A and B are shown apart, each in its own frame.
Chain A
Amino acid sequence: MQVFKLSQAELDSMIRHFGSLGMVYTPAAGKQPSARTDCAPGWQPADGAPLALATGPSATSVKTFFFPQPETMQTFSVKNNYPDRGLLREPETLTEKQIVVGLRPCDARSVLLNNLPYREDPYYQANMARTVLVGFTCDAMCSTCFCDRMGGSPMATEGLDIAVSRLDHGFAAEILTARGEELLAGLKLTPAGISELDELAGRRQAAPQADAAGLDALKERDLNRLYEAPLWQQLGESCINCGACTFVCPTCYCFDVQDEVVRGTGRRIRYWDSCMFPLYSLHTSGHNPRGQKMQRTRNRFMHKLKYFPDRFGPFSCVGCGRCVKDCPVNIDIREVMGDLLTVE
């Protein structure tokens, strides 16, 4: 692994250099001034201006680059005079490199977690293959951040191709993968000296570490026993069943599939769905196994804290705190986890 030291100017010119290798996206600061179809909400194509990141994660998560909203799976035509009428065709797999700059360690970790259920999904894998992640470690945590409790750390580099960390003077860029190396090929960068490496190690040591004990306690808990606990009723009663938490969540990956036809041309798309919506679990018969609000609210937490870990190991939460911040009724997953540990 190589570590380079960068000044602010060098960092900015490095990001500009990425522009020659593929599309470069950075978190958008504030509201978009004009309509854009070239980028997902919360992100913007890098414009060459110096990158100024706010503390904590970006407004929307990095999952939008792995689960495009929508993802075209097949195209077809229903025009009568077309010889291949009704034939499903695979669209060309997108291979153009997309370079995401400015994501945080929590989001980087979510890409790995989502890869567990999607490891055989060709669309996710294609997006993995064409996306390079240039992350910025956190030198401060927000009050809503809790990555350390979910097995991450603000200084972690897991899942990133290049990790940029702030130093007292300038930045340190750690090259973590071959793809990261490719991005920097041809750039003249100064390798970090002993003092920078020491400072980086010191910062990493001083940062909050993954708190295994707290996690183990929740994992050992028999959450199925709490399936009928009254706390779900209380949560469900205040929940308004919007999809804000699931759509800002980096590790909520549920989708729905449908065909869209416009003037004879069709595409089969995959788009985000949310377990908070009644339609998500509605059967064709009209029966809905999660017909009540409370059942849907419960399912989201049970999936993150019980079903996913049962199947794949880690919790399906990286502690970015977006749902905590954006929930209209202040349902706080940290409090829910606390309650699950204490309630009998």
Chain B
Amino acid sequence: MPTINEQLTEEIRVQARKLLADKTVAAVIGYTAGSLPMTVKPAVIRAADDCGRLVWNSFCVLNLANYLPEVLKSVEPPRGPRDPKPTGPLPKVAVMATGCWSRNIVVQIQEHQVERERVVVMAIGSRGMVSRRKVEAHFSGREILAVTELDHELVVKGADFTETVNRWSMVRDNCQTCTHPDPVLVDVRIGAPAADRKNPNPFKQVEMIEARSTDERWAWFSAEFSSCIRCYACRNACPLCYCPTCFVDDARPQWVGKSLDATDTGLFHVLRAYHCAGRCTDCGACESVCPMGINMRMLTKKLNKDVLNLYGIEAGMQPDTPLPLTTYKPDDPQQFIVNEPGSAKEGA
């Protein structure tokens, strides 16, 4: 009896092969097997014969929407910078998408990075991706040499041990509290739609930090980000970060210094998160790729919470409505304005 992931992998291969063979799409963005346990390699497949390389498992933590704008450009006929856009339909690209990734594609469409007509979403209901860091922490100090995934367990092998752990307990925090595991865009359905999570409470971790005092929060923030090495993996793994020149690279004025100064590092993370306000789908890619294990997702999650509470918007859920920061309502909450009646700072 094949596991759920084996079935999904097979289905992905069949569908991708079909899409490429009948020339519906010029490329498929998916995952192939990795060289280490609990890793996968993102890959762009351009030939139907190559589709056998595609895999699906619980370690697909990078958001494939990240590659979409670039791959779309790569399949267009080559043209110079001043040449007009070719007339007629351009080649399409197929991409695997879970709930959050599909919401990122919606954001990309809203921000005119991607044309809906050119994307074929291979929709996969997410069962939650496993955090490599959680598994490694569970086996702290013992090197993991192989991990076999069953439907609800992970069989972890080392040099002198074999242990079975519950899969769900190793699933990433953002996936455990996910409120939209099933894709919002569906062109080709792979597997069964995902069931809603039981009692997710998506903002539990944020609320725990909010409950602390200002000084405690500053202590948390300073400690959490003090191990940052400024490799920008969090930024580059994010499908929202597509600016040709990032604010950290601006030289005049220089918003953020370049070295490991605590202020510069802190400012980088605050501003990076802030740039994702109203756009972040909490896919967790930033946190998953951080070589230092920093939980920078807390900042974006806090913004997601505020955007939902103040403006009632969740990124990527309503393709036809504008993004929260590109619109307004005349009666938006403004308790924070210092000279408004009823402001929080009144009388302070």
A and B touch in the complex (CB under 8 A): yes
Q: Which residues of A contact B (CB under 8 A)?
A: 31-37, 40-42, 54-56, 59-60, 69-70, 142-144, 234, 237-238, 240-244, 246-248, 256, 258, 260, 269, 271-272, 274, 277, 279, 293, 324-326, 328-332, 334-335
Whether A240 contacts B236 by the Cβ 8 Å rule is yes
Whether B62 contacts A328 by the Cβ 8 Å rule is yes
Q: Number of A-B pairs whose CB atoms are under 8 Å?
A: 130
Q: How far is the CB of B18 from chain A (nearest CB, A)?
A: 22
Whether A243 contacts B44 by the Cβ 8 Å rule is no
Whether A279 contacts B236 by the Cβ 8 Å rule is no
**Which B residues touch A246, using CB under 8 A?**
231
Contact partner of A242 (CB less than 8 A), chosen from B228, B235, B249, B261, is B235
Q: How far is the CB of B43 from chain A (nearest CB, A)?
A: 6
Looking across the interface, which residue of chain B has its beta carbon closest to that of A257?
B258
Within 8 Å of chain A (Cβ to Cβ): is B289?
yes
Q: List 17 A-B contacts (CB under 8 A).
A: A31-B292, A32-B223, A34-B219, A35-B222, A35-B262, A41-B292, A55-B141, A237-B74, A240-B237, A242-B235, A258-B251, A277-B232, A325-B36, A328-B237, A330-B35, A334-B35, A335-B35
Whether B226 contacts A244 by the Cβ 8 Å rule is no
CA distance A234 to B44 in the complex (A): 8
**Which B residues touch A271, using CB under 8 A?**
258-260
Q: How far is the CB of B74 from chain A (nearest CB, A)?
A: 8
CA distance A142 to B236 in the complex (A): 28
Known contacts being A32-B227, A59-B292, A238-B43, is A258 close to B258, with CB within 8 Å? yes
Known contacts being A243-B231, A244-B231, is A234 close to B236, with CB within 8 Å? no
The DSSP consensus for interface residues of chain A is loop
CA distance A334 to B145 in the complex (A): 17
Contact partner of A237 (CB less than 8 A), chosen from B40, B44, B223, is B44
Looking across the interface, which residue of chain A has its beta carbon closest to that of B251?
A258
Whether B259 contacts A279 by the Cβ 8 Å rule is no
Contact partner of A35 (CB less than 8 A), chosen from B74, B219, B232, B249, is B219
Whether A70 contacts B260 by the Cβ 8 Å rule is yes
Q: How far is the CB of A337 from chain B (nearest CB, A)?
A: 12
Whether B66 contacts A42 by the Cβ 8 Å rule is no
Looking across the interface, which residue of chain A has its beta carbon closest to that of B292?
A41
Whether B36 contacts A248 by the Cβ 8 Å rule is no
List B246-294 residues whose CB lies under 8 Å from chain A. 249, 251, 257-262, 288-289, 291-293
Within 8 Å of chain A (Cβ to Cβ): is B189?
no
Known contacts being A41-B229, A142-B143, A274-B231, is A329 close to B41, with CB within 8 Å? yes
Whether B257 contacts A260 by the Cβ 8 Å rule is yes
CA distance A33 to B219 in the complex (A): 10
Within 8 Å of chain A (Cβ to Cβ): is B230?
yes
Within 8 Å of chain A (Cβ to Cβ): is B200?
no
Contact partner of B223 (CB less than 8 A), chosen from A34, A238, A240, is A34
List B59-98 residues whose CB lies under 8 Å from chain A. 62, 66-67, 70-71, 74
Known contacts being A274-B231, A334-B35, is A40 close to B260, with CB within 8 Å? yes
Within 8 Å of chain A (Cβ to Cβ): is B34?
yes
Contact partner of B36 (CB less than 8 A), chosen from A144, A234, A328, is A144
Q: How far is the CB of A328 from chain B (nearest CB, A)?
A: 3
**Which B residues touch A334, using CB under 8 A?**
35
* Interface hub of B71, B231, B249 (most chain A Cβ within 10 A): B231
**Which A residues touch B125, using CB under 8 A?**
none
Within 8 Å of chain A (Cβ to Cβ): is B39?
yes
Known contacts being A32-B223, A34-B223, A242-B289, is A41 close to B228, with CB within 8 Å? yes
Whether A32 contacts B36 by the Cβ 8 Å rule is no
CA distance A33 to B42 in the complex (A): 34
Known contacts being A41-B292, A260-B257, A330-B41, is A33 close to B229, with CB within 8 Å? no
Whether A330 contacts B39 by the Cβ 8 Å rule is yes
Whether B223 contacts A33 by the Cβ 8 Å rule is yes
Within 8 Å of chain A (Cβ to Cβ): is B165?
no
Whether A256 contacts B233 by the Cβ 8 Å rule is no
Whether A330 contacts B143 by the Cβ 8 Å rule is no
Whether B41 contacts A54 by the Cβ 8 Å rule is no
Q: How far is the CB of B328 from chain A (nearest CB, A)?
A: 34
Looking across the interface, which residue of chain B has its beta carbon closest to that of A235?
B41
**Which A residues touch B74, using CB under 8 A?**
237
Whether A143 contacts B143 by the Cβ 8 Å rule is yes
Q: How far is the CB of B242 from chain A (nearest CB, A)?
A: 12
CA distance A31 to B52 in the complex (A): 40
Which 9 pairs show the lowest CB-CB distances between chains A and B? A35-B222, A328-B289, A70-B259, A242-B233, A326-B291, A242-B236, A271-B259, A41-B227, A243-B231
CA distance A272 to B232 in the complex (A): 13
Whether A55 contacts B35 by the Cβ 8 Å rule is no
Known contacts being A55-B143, A243-B232, A330-B41, is A35 close to B258, with CB within 8 Å? no
Q: How far is the CB of A279 from chain B (nearest CB, A)?
A: 5
Contact partner of B226 (CB less than 8 A), chosen from A35, A54, A258, A272, is A35
**Which B residues touch A238, using CB under 8 A?**
41-44
Whether A324 contacts B233 by the Cβ 8 Å rule is no
Whether A332 contacts B231 by the Cβ 8 Å rule is no
CA distance A37 to B44 in the complex (A): 42
Q: How far is the CB of B293 from chain A (nearest CB, A)?
A: 6
**Which B residues touch A293, using CB under 8 A?**
70
Known contacts being A34-B223, A328-B289, A330-B40, is A241 close to B236, with CB within 8 Å? yes
**Which A residues touch B251, using CB under 8 A?**
258
Known contacts being A35-B226, A54-B141, A271-B259, is A244 close to B293, with CB within 8 Å? no
CA distance A260 to B253 in the complex (A): 12
Q: How far is the CB of A138 from chain B (nearest CB, A)?
A: 12
**Which A residues touch B219, using CB under 8 A?**
34-35
Known contacts being A35-B222, A143-B36, is A247 close to B230, with CB within 8 Å? yes
CA distance A278 to B133 in the complex (A): 29
